[in-house]
Amino acid sequence: MNCPNCRRDIADYSNFCYFCGTRQNVAPAGCAQVQKRLLRSAVDSKIAGVCGGIAEYFGVDSTIVRLLWIVAAICPPFPAVIAYLVGWIIIPLAPPPVAAPPQPAHTEAPNSAQTA
């Protein structure tokens, strides 16, 4: 396989080029690459899930995104408030996570010595 950046030969299925460090976009045969989508979080949401969705997309803690958003919101002329409202309207809501089927409760058989 050739690195698209430096055009040198590297091993197949390498995540990074050994020479220039460029990330390689390869997937094993038969595996489709998953494309990340920006979605409002259905799990990590305080108001509308915009900050939680941005945090999930970039792989950072949602508290950091919320703190940055608050700092940007209190700075005039308040572009973060408008951006949050626009994100609330435009960014689609992520589907709720699939819950595992309920496990049957374990019931113990009554002890015959105790029922006497």
Residue with tokens 């799990």: 43
Residue 68 lies inside a defined structural domain of this protein: yes
Residue 53 lies inside a defined structural domain of this protein: yes
pLDDT digits (tens, 9 = 90+) for 8-45: 888 777 777 878 888 777 655 555 556 788 888 888 88
Give the span between the Cα atoms of 87 and 72, in whole angstroms. 15
The answer, yes or no, to whether residue 82 has pLDDT greater than 80, is yes
Same domain flag for 88 and 49: yes
What band does 96 get if pLDDT is binned at 50, 70 and 90? confident
Same domain flag for 57 and 20: no
**Structural domain count of the chain:** 2
Same domain flag for 42 and 83: yes
Same domain flag for 89 and 63: yes
Residue 66 lies inside a defined structural domain of this protein: yes
Residue 45 lies inside a defined structural domain of this protein: yes
The per-residue DSSP string of 46-110 comes to: SSSSHHHHHHHHHTS-HHHHHHHHHHHHHSTT-HHHHHHHHHHHHSPBPPPPPPPPPPPPP-PPP
Q: Answer for the pair 42, 94: CB distance below 8 angstroms, yes or no.
A: yes
- Note down the domain range covering 14: 1-31
Q: Any bridge partners for residue 40, and if so which?
A: 93
Same domain flag for 43 and 87: yes
Residue 116 lies inside a defined structural domain of this protein: no
The reported pTM is 0.56
